[in-house]
A and B are shown apart, each in its own frame.
Chain A
Amino acid sequence: MAVGKEVKTKIASISSTQKITSAMEMVAASKMRKAQDQMSLGKPYSRHIRKVVGHIAKASSEYKHHYLTSREVNRVGYILISTDRGLCGGLNINLFKSALKEIKSFSDQDIEADICVIGNKGAAFFSSVGGNVVAAVKDIGEQPAIEDLIGGIKVMLKAYDDNEIDQLFLVSNEFVNTMTQSPRVEQLLPLEPSDEEGLSYHWDYIYEPDAKDLLDGLLKRYIESQVYQAVVENKACEQAARMIAMKNATDNAGELIDELQLLYNKARQAAITQELSEIVGGASAV
């Protein structure tokens, strides 16, 4: 039974693929939980530093930091966060699409964009599509550390300091829930003053050592913490997207196996019927 054997091999190969995808699904599910934990651990810091920076923007200081004042836009910068690995559905592609749309809307106004990519997939994408990639951070791993990101961020901040770029955006995925992740573009620089409950009276901090050095450092930390938090969030998005993608793959493999099994049974039935009718035909001929 030649037909039967072919189908049998195909079923075996698909079911071994199914085993792999279902294992990946389970691994992604546990990694997602870990990434979500890490995400919630980082929340207090980013919330606090956001509050502090909000206060700074409100304080009636005689010194205005250039991160807090907007200027005419001639060139923009993007920090784009992608994943290290693939097999996570349309997560990266959706993100790149929304980034490209943003970049195009600027290039229509003759404003060029510099890009800093974080994650291997982003680097690979922009090297094939083209784009002015000024910095890349690769291999961020399962547990991203802030140390790994500092380099890339510094390149962009320096460009802002040197007036090479006049606005800085952060492009990353937002973890809505396990099923949904949506691309998000956020303005990092210049900082938009927060609309938190206003301290109406005239006040200012005591700065130690002095306002300039302190704000320089603190605002840098603020940007870094925002990027770090986004990287951690993107990690959770990656695992969630991978889990869903692998679940779909497992389901599809199951369907395929069912269909092939049906085909195999039919072929076997047909072969038996044919053999029987041959025997009957032969007997009646004699």
Chain B
Amino acid sequence: MAVVSCEIVSANESIFTGSVKMLVVTGSAGELGIMPGHAALLSDLKPGPVRIVKEDDSEEVYYLSGGYVEVQPNSIAVLADTAIRADSIDEASAAEAVKDAESAVGNKGGDIEYSKAASMLAEATAQLRTVRALKKKLGK
């Protein structure tokens, strides 16, 4: 059966490199199963598990907190995020940087705390899903 080379990398480590038969990721528009010969595709990823079926039919599951997947006819690259991302958090840290520039110290608003909590909740749920997927895999 055909294989395709796949690399999963994050900003501070290389998570997986090798040939795979299939890659299953959680795209923002739903789950995506990518097999060799897939058309060129670019999609963003939601927090969730990534499942790889390797050449010898063994499977591996990783957890990603988001990122991007790029599919080229003969290679797949998964660019994983390391940080929790939400627009309002970005906005807050931008505001902080400006404040730092003015050398002033201020308090963050309650809004930011809420959105941070919400994105952490989403992440925790996704981690739970990964754990379940792993459990299922081990159980069979």
A-to-B contact residues, CB < 8 Å = 38, 41-42, 44-46, 48-49, 51-52, 55-56, 59, 116-117, 123, 127, 133-138, 145-148, 150-152, 154-155, 158, 203-209, 213-214, 217-218, 221, 225, 228
Inter-chain contact B68/A217, CB cutoff 8 Å: yes
> Given contacts A135-B101, A137-B100, A204-B40, is CB(A146)–CB(B11) below 8 Å?
yes
B98 at the A/B interface (Cβ < 8 Å)? yes
Number of chain B residues close to chain A: CB under 8 A? 37
- The answer to the question of B95 belonging to the interface, with a C-beta cut-off of 8 Å to chain A, is yes
Cβ-defined contact, B68 with A155, below 8 A: no
Q: Is B77 an interface residue (CB 8 A)?
A: yes
B14 at the interface (CB under 8 A from A): yes
Question: B27 — which chain A residues lie within 8 A by C-beta?
Answer: 208
B42 A207 Cβ-Cβ under 8 A = yes
Contacts of B103 in A (CB 8 A): 127, 136
Residues 31-73 of chain B: 1 if any A CB is under 8 Å from the residue's CB, otherwise 0? 0100000011111100000000000000000000000101010
* A203 contacts B79, C-beta separation under 8 Å: no
- Specify the main secondary structure of chain B where it touches its partner: mixed
Q: Are A45 and B83 closer than 8 Å at their CB atoms? A: no
Assembly CA distance A39 to B92 (angstroms):
28
Q: In the complex, what residues of A have CB within 8 A of residue B90's CB?
A: 150-151, 154
**B93 on interface, CB distance cutoff 8 Å:** yes
* B138 sits at the interface (CB 8 A): no
Decide: B14 and A151 in contact? CB cutoff 8 A.
no
Instruction: State which of B12, B13, B93, B100 has its C-beta within 8 Å of the C-beta of A136.
Output: B100
Chain B residues with Cβ below 8 Å from A138 are 100
A133 neighbours in B (Cβ, 8 Å): 101
The answer to whether B28 touches A147, judged by C-beta atoms less than 8 angstroms apart, is no
User: Is A44 in contact with B7, judged by CB distance below 8 angstroms?
Assistant: yes
Inter-chain CA distance A209–B96, complex, in Å, is 31
Instruction: Determine the chain A residues whose CB is within 8 A of the CB of B39 once the complex forms.
Output: 206
8 contacts between A and B (CB under 8 A): A38-B12, A45-B12, A136-B103, A151-B93, A152-B97, A154-B94, A158-B94, A205-B42
Determine if A209 and B28 form an interchain contact, defined as CB atoms under 8 angstroms apart. Answer: yes
Cross-chain contact B97 with A151 (CB below 8 angstroms): yes
Write the nearest CB–CB distance from B83 to chain A, whole angstroms.
5
Q: How far is the CA of A221 from the CA of B81 in the complex (A)?
A: 9
Knowing A52-B68, A214-B44, the reply to whether A44 touches B95 (Cβ < 8 A) is no
A158 — nearest CB in chain B belongs to which residue? B94
Residues of B within 8 A of A145 (CB): 82-83
* Nearest-CB residue, chain B, relative to A135: B97
State in angstroms the CA–CA spacing of A42 and B103 once bound together.
Answer: 31
